[in-house]
Structure 1
C-alpha cells in the first residue's frame, strides 16, 4: 500500500476546510433538511441550514451569515418552519413560512432556548430554557451586548457563594441558580405558558403524537444534588398532572412515544456496572404501567460511542418507531463501527445497515420505510445517503469533494490480536504519507479518552495529521472500551494501569512484530483525558517511548476527587473507592507517584477552563517533573475546556495540533 503522491499531505489547519454535516430530517418523502458546520474566514464556527429536494437534486441554503443556525423543523402541515439561531447573540427560536420569507425571532429568553419541537397539530412549539425561580416568561428579554458585558463585569467583582455539590460543569462552567424548565409557545396567539416550575432541571424528551402528553427527564428526589438518577415523568398537558414512570434507581433518556401514543421506548440502565454499564432498551406500556426489557442478551452498545474530532452538530440516534409500531430503529456501537439496528417488540435484533463505518445519525420516513443516513469513514469525513426500503443505498451529498480530491488520506489497516490473558483486542494502523517499502518510520500510539468510548472506522483529523507528518499511527480499543460487550467495557474498572496498560503495550509489540517498517527506537505516545492518564502512566512505567504528549490528563486521583466536576462520583465508579475510603489506593494508581521514573520527554497540553480534568492536574505533573529536572514542557490554552480538541476555538485547535507535531518532530 502506498499513498498517492499526486495529492498533498494533510496539514494542521485542514480541519478548517472540512464541512461537518448533521441533523438529517425528512420533510417529505422526497425532501429533507440538514445542517452544515464549517469554520469561516473569521476563524469561527458557523452552521447553515440546507434543504435538499431529491426529485431535482437541488440543495437550497435556508440561512446565511456568520451564525450558528440549526435544529430546523417544518410544521406538520408544511406551512411554517422554525430553527435555532444565535444571530441575536443567544440561541433563540426563529419562525418563518416554509415557502419563503423573512424569519421572525419568537423567543427572547436571556439564557437562550434549546430542544424545540412542534406539536402534532402545528399550533404550538415546546422548548426548554434555563429560568430563575421568579422569572416571568412573558416579560423576559434577551440581554444586549452591552448588558452582557456589564453583567460579566459585575460577576468578576462579586464573590461566588457555593452551597451545592454540583456547582460547576465542563459545559456550563460555574452554575447559577437557574433551572431547565419546559415552555409552550402558542403560534396563533403568540403567547408563552410555563409547564414545569420545580427547583430542578426538566429536560423535554418527547411529545406524544396525540398532543396530550409529554415526557421529561428530571431528578426530583430530595437528595438530587448528590444523586445521578434521571427519572422519566409523564406530563398531561391539559391538567398539568405529572406521573412518575421510573423508580429512581437509574438513568433514562431518549424516550419516544409510539405512533399511537400508547407505549414508549427508552434508553437507560440502573448503574449495575456504574459508568461502564451498557445502555439497555426498555418498552413501557402507558396503560398497564408495565416495563419490558428488550435488550436482555444484546452485546452491542445502543447509541454512538465513536471517538472523533470532526463531529460538529447533533443527529438523531434513536430509538425511533416504525410506521406500524411493531419495530424500533436505533444506532448501535459494535466492534469499531456504528450500525443501524432494528428490533421487534420481543427484543429480536437484526442489523438494518452496516458497512464497517460510522453511522452518526439518521432520519426515518414512515410512509416510504426509507432512511437518510449520516455516514463517516476514515477517508471521507461525512456525507448523507438514502437507504431505501429495499436496502439500496444512494449517496445524496458530496460536501467535502474538493478536500478529498486535494488531500492524501491514509486508509487504516485493521489489526486484531489476542492479549496474554485471552482477550481479543482490535485496533487500526495508518501508514505515513509517501510510504515506501523498505524504509523505517517513527511510530505514535494514540490512546482514546473515556475510558468507556471506542476508536473505529471514522474520519479523525488528528490521526491523519500524524500520518501525514510521517508517522506510523496505531489506535486501539483496550479493555474498558465500548463495542465488545459488557464484560469487556467493565474490564478496566478497579483495574486502571494494569490490564489496560498490558493491552496497549502488547498492541505495540504486535505491530512491531508484524510490520517491519516500524522503527522501534522511535516510539511516541499521546492521548487525552483517560488517554492522558494512560500516557502519564506509560511514561512512569516504561522508558521504551522516546517522546510523549499528554492532553487534558489526570495525574493525581487524590485531588481529582475534589476538583473535577465528576470527581466525587467518577472516582468511586472507576476505582471502587473514594478519597476518604482509601487514599493509599488512589495514590498507588496516580501517575504522579511515579514521576521519578519518567525518562521520556513529556509535553503537557491543558485547557485553562477544563473542569472535567482541571488544569491543576497538568500543573502538578509539570511542577513535579520540572523540580526533578526532567525533560518537560507545559502549554496552557486560555478559555479552553475539555472539548478543545473537538469543538474548541479553531485557532487554539490548530495551535494544539502544531504543538503535538513539534514535540514529536523534536524527539522522534
Structure 2
C-alpha cells in the first residue's frame, strides 16, 4: 500500500451528532466529508439500526443537512438544511418521507429543541438591532463626486470575533415556531447573549436556557446563569446565581430536576466544570462531581432519571461516565474521539437511550466511526466510513511514551507516530508537534497532519506538557501567569526520550506548533539551537500587543494576567518570545491566517520583521481569508502541511 498523500484529505469522512430514536431502535447522524469542488466540509444525514444494519442515506446531496432532532413520538425529524440556498428549518415525516420547510428565517437557526407535546420547535437565531451611531455634520459631496465610503463607528467592548469577523449590531435570541409550520415568535430580546442548548419544561410552557443577562456582560468573561422564559408571557426568571458560568441545562425524565454544568470563577486561567442538579424552580442545588477535576463536555439524563451521563477528558482521552444523584461516579469502558481531523486533540460525542450509548469512537488510525455499548458493557462498531481509503493507504502506527519531567518528576504523557514500513535499525528525522490552548489536550487520536508528516518519512512526537488540560486543575495551572516556562523543559524531555530510542537522527530535529504551540515553538528557538528548522503557526509573540489586539481581550487580561497589561509590562516581556529573538539562529517560518483575530497576524509580522533584522533565515506564509482555525477549509489543511514539510525539507540533510 502507498502512504497517504495531500489529496487524501478530501477522502476523509467522520461521524458526528448521533441521535437515537425515542424507541431506541434507530440512529440518525451527520456523515461529514469534504467537497473537492467547493473546498468545504459537507454534512449529510444517514440512518442505521441500533445493531448496525440498514445503513443508508436519509438526506444526502451537495448541500448541508445538519442537527437532526427526533420528535418526542419519534415520527418526525427536525433538521437544518441549505437545500434552498440559505440555512432553514425543516421537518421530515419519517413514515411518509414528506418534508416541509416550517418557517422563513432571516438568519441561520441553531439549538433545535422539540417541546414535549410535539407542538413546538424552539431555536436560537441572530436578530439584528439598531446600530450605535454618533451624529456627525458631514457636507454632501458634489454631484458626480467619488468620495470614500462612510466610516464604521464602533463603541462596544466585544466588536469582533475570530471566525465571525466584525460584529453586526444584535444578538442571538430565542424563538419558537409551530412544528407543522408557521410564523416564529421571538421570546427574548435585549443586548444579551443567549447561547447553548434550549430545554423545554415538562408541560411545554417554558424554555430553560443559559446566558448572561447582566448589563456589564461584555466584561464578564466567566459569568452566566440559567434562566427560564415563559412562551406565553415571555417572562424571564433566573434559576441560578452562582459566581461563575452555569451552562448545558438538561431536564430529568420526570420533569422535576435540572442538571447543569457549573464553572466557578476562581480567577485562575484554567478551571474545570462540575455537575450540579437542582429542582426545576431553582431550589435545592447539589453538586454531584466535586472530586472529578476534569474537563466535562456534555451531560445527559439516563432514561430512569436516577443518574446522569457525562463525557470528560482524562489524560488526553475522552471518556463517558454515569453519576448518580448521590454522587457515585462509574466510568464506562469506552473512549470517544475522531472529530479533530487536523491535529490529535481530544474530541468526541455521544448520546444515550434505552440503556445504550452511541458514541464516536477513538482510534489513532482513523477518524470517528459510530459504536454502541449496551448495559452489559458490550461494544459494537456500527460504521466503517473510511474503510475504502484504508484498503489503499498505509497508516503510521502510533505508540505511547512514558516519561518523567526533569523539572519535578511529574509524569508527562506523549505519543509518537512512526513512518509506514518503519525500520528500527535506521535513523529518521523527528518533528516535535506542540498543541495550542495552552489549556488543551492531545491524545492517541487520529491526526491527518501527523499522518501526512509520517508518510514523508518523519517520526512525529506530540505531548501534554504542564499546562495541558485533562490532568486536573493543579497541573494545568502550573503555568498560571507563568507561560511559557517549564513546559519548555517538559517538551525537551519528550524529545530526549524519543531520541534515546536509537532510531532518531539527532542532527535532524524539527519543531512546529500552532497557537499556544506556535508560542512555545518561538520560545524554543529562542532558548536552544537544537532544531534544524521551525515552523511557528499563528503564535503569540508579544503578550502586550496580543492582549490589546486579540478578540477575547477582556478574558485574556482578566485570567491570563495578574493586572492590566501596561502595569506589568516587565513580566509580560519576560514571557514573550520576542524577548528572546536576539538568540534565534534556527531557520524559522511563520504561518498565520490573514483574518486571525485570536492571535492576530500582527504578532506574526512582529516576529518575522525581528528575524529579518537579525538576518535569520525566515519566511512568512499568509493564508488568505483564514481565521485562527486555519484548516477550516480542506485545501488550507493541505497547504499548511505542505509548507511545513517543504520548509523542513529545505533545511534537512540530503
Indicate yes or no: 2:74 matched with 1:78.
yes
Indicate yes or no: 2:212 matched with 1:219.
yes
> Which of the residues 628, 635, 640 maps onto 1:656?
640
Q: Distance in 1 between matches of 2:218 and 2:276?
A: 26
Instruction: Confirm or deny: 8 A CA contact 1:51 1:62 kept in the other structure.
Output: yes
Q: Who is 2:308 aligned against? A: 328
Q: Who is 1:382 aligned against? A: 368
Instruction: Confirm or deny: 8 A CA contact 1:557 1:589 kept in the other structure.
Output: yes
Q: Distance in 2 between matches of 1:531 and 1:84?
A: 35
> Which of the residues 427, 430, 448 maps onto 2:435?
448
> Which of the residues 29, 32, 38 maps onto 1:37?
32
Once the two structures are overlaid, the 10-residue window that deviates more, 474-483 or 567-576, is 567-576
Please identify runs of 4+ aligned residues in structure 1 that moved more than 6 A: 356-359
Q: Distance in 1 between matches of 2:560 and 2:453?
A: 31
Q: Who is 1:499 aligned against? A: 486
Q: Who is 1:242 aligned against? A: 236
Q: Who is 1:257 aligned against? A: 251
Q: Distance in 2 between matches of 1:74 and 1:338?
A: 26
Q: Distance in 2 between matches of 1:336 and 1:380?
A: 17
Q: Distance in 2 between matches of 1:130 and 1:264?
A: 26
Q: Who is 1:170 aligned against? A: 162
Q: Distance in 2 between matches of 1:123 and 1:286?
A: 22
Could you list the runs of 5+ residues in structure 2 that have no partner in the other structure?
Answer: 132-147, 339-346
Deviations 1:50-98 (Å, cap 9, x if unpaired)?
1113468112312233212111122223332221112333321122222
> Which of the residues 304, 313, 320 maps onto 1:340?
320
Secondary structure at 2:121's aligned position in 1? strand
Secondary structure at 2:559's aligned position in 1? helix
Q: Distance in 1 between matches of 2:414 and 2:129?
A: 50
Indicate yes or no: 2:504 matched with 1:509.
no
Indicate yes or no: 2:466 matched with 1:472.
no
Q: Who is 1:14 aligned against? A: 8
Q: CA deviation at 1:134?
A: 7.1
Instruction: Confirm or deny: 8 A CA contact 1:93 1:107 kept in the other structure.
Output: yes
Q: Distance in 2 between matches of 1:391 and 1:591?
A: 49
Q: Who is 2:139 aligned against? A: none
Q: Distance in 2 between matches of 1:273 and 1:301?
A: 17
> Which of the residues 356, 371, 377 maps onto 1:391?
377
Q: Who is 1:585 aligned against? A: 571
> Which of the residues 615, 618, 624 maps onto 1:632?
618
Indicate yes or no: 2:178 matched with 1:186.
yes
Secondary structure at 1:319's aligned position in 2? strand
Q: Who is 1:109 aligned against? A: 105
Q: CA deviation at 1:290?
A: 2.1
Instruction: Confirm or deny: 8 A CA contact 1:571 1:577 kept in the other structure.
Output: yes
Secondary structure at 2:173's aligned position in 1? strand
Q: CA deviation at 1:482?
A: 1.2
Q: Distance in 2 between matches of 1:579 and 1:323?
A: 50
Secondary structure at 2:590's aligned position in 1? strand
Q: Distance in 2 between matches of 1:411 and 1:357?
A: 17
Q: Distance in 2 between matches of 1:411 and 1:271?
A: 41
Deviations 1:234-277 (Å, cap 9, x if unpaired)?
22334333221222621121110111111111112122153400
- Map of 1:262-273 to 2, 5 A cutoff? 262-273=256-267
Q: Distance in 2 between matches of 1:574 and 1:422?
A: 26
Instruction: Confirm or deny: 8 A CA contact 1:357 1:457 kept in the other structure.
Output: no
Secondary structure at 1:107's aligned position in 2? coil
Instruction: Confirm or deny: 8 A CA contact 1:560 1:617 kept in the other structure.
Output: yes
Instruction: Confirm or deny: 8 A CA contact 2:34 2:42 kept in the other structure.
Output: yes
Q: CA deviation at 1:281?
A: 1.1
Q: CA deviation at 1:102?
A: 4.8
Q: Who is 1:297 aligned against? A: 291
CA RMSD for the aligned pairs?
Answer: 1.9
Q: CA deviation at 1:205?
A: 3.0
Q: Distance in 1 between matches of 2:114 and 2:471?
A: 38
Instruction: Confirm or deny: 8 A CA contact 1:561 1:578 kept in the other structure.
Output: no
Deviations 1:461-518 (Å, cap 9, x if unpaired)?
11111111111111000011111112101111122121111111111122222x1001
> Which of the residues 342, 364, 384 maps onto 2:352?
364
Q: Distance in 2 between matches of 1:298 and 1:104?
A: 45
Q: CA deviation at 1:109?
A: 2.4
Change (3 A) 1:450 1:91: same
> Which of the residues 537, 541, 555 maps onto 1:569?
555
Q: What is the TM-score when the length of structure 2 is the normalising length?
A: 0.92
Deviations 1:289-321 (Å, cap 9, x if unpaired)?
121111111133212xxxxxxxxxxxxxx3111
Q: Distance in 2 between matches of 1:188 and 1:538?
A: 59
Deviations 1:317-367 (Å, cap 9, x if unpaired)?
x311112211110111001211111111122111123359667111111xx
Indicate yes or no: 2:519 matched with 1:538.
no
Q: Distance in 1 between matches of 2:440 and 2:181?
A: 46
Secondary structure at 1:507's aligned position in 2? helix
Q: Distance in 2 between matches of 1:467 and 1:387?
A: 33
Q: Distance in 2 between matches of 1:545 and 1:525?
A: 7
Change (3 A) 1:492 1:89: farther
Could you list the runs of 5+ residues in structure 1 that have no partner in the other structure?
Answer: 1-6, 136-155, 304-317
Instruction: Confirm or deny: 8 A CA contact 2:103 2:182 kept in the other structure.
Output: no
Indicate yes or no: 2:36 matched with 1:52.
no
